[in-house]
Amino acid sequence: MEMTGTIIEDFEKTFDKTKLDDVLDHAYEHSDLSSVEVPKDKTQRLFFSLLKMIDFECFAYDHAPEGLTLLNVKKWLVKHKDEIKCEPPSMLGMFAGAFNFLAAKKTQ
């Protein structure tokens, strides 16, 4: 099984198919506020969308798919951080530290 399927399947298993579809659709929201193109690859689009939700503070404004929380999304992203290849949704978010949680060392 290729890695792409594994990551998508893991998200679906962890959260569910409806949330997966909602998150993938969410990647295109606020596109006018970002100069970064939404990745065509489904797995990278998933990562991009989740990072964008964190960057644009969608959880704070109840603008994230129902049932997803900032904490459970961050935990899921940390679990798969080595597979994230997409550009950050915004440089401002990167410089402001929105993605610093991904730089932390894994603890077992």
Res 62 pLDDT > 70: yes
Average pLDDT, the chain: 90
Is there a domain that residue 77 lies in?
A: yes
Q: Within a domain: residue 67?
A: yes
Is 51 part of a structural domain of the chain? Answer: yes
- Rg of the chain in Å (alpha carbons): 13
Q: What is the average pLDDT across 56-74?
A: 94
Q: Is residue 106 part of a domain?
A: no
Q: pLDDT of 44-59, one tens digit each?
A: 999 999 999 999 999 9
pTM of the model: 0.89
Q: Quick check: 13 pLDDT over 80?
A: yes
Instruction: Give a yes or no: residue 14 inside a domain.
Output: yes
Mean pLDDT of the 15-44 span: 91
Question: How many domains, in total, are found in the chain?
Answer: 1
Residue 24 CA to residue 5 CA, distance in Å, equals 15
**By residue range, what is the domain housing residue 53?**
3-101
Tell whether 48 is covered by a domain: yes
What's the rounded mean pLDDT across residues 28-57?
Answer: 91
In a domain, 107, yes or no: no
Q: Burial level of 39, CB count in 10 A (0-12/13-18/19+)?
A: middle
Q: What is the pLDDT of residues 70-101, one digit of tens each?
A: 999 999 999 999 999 999 999 999 999 999 99
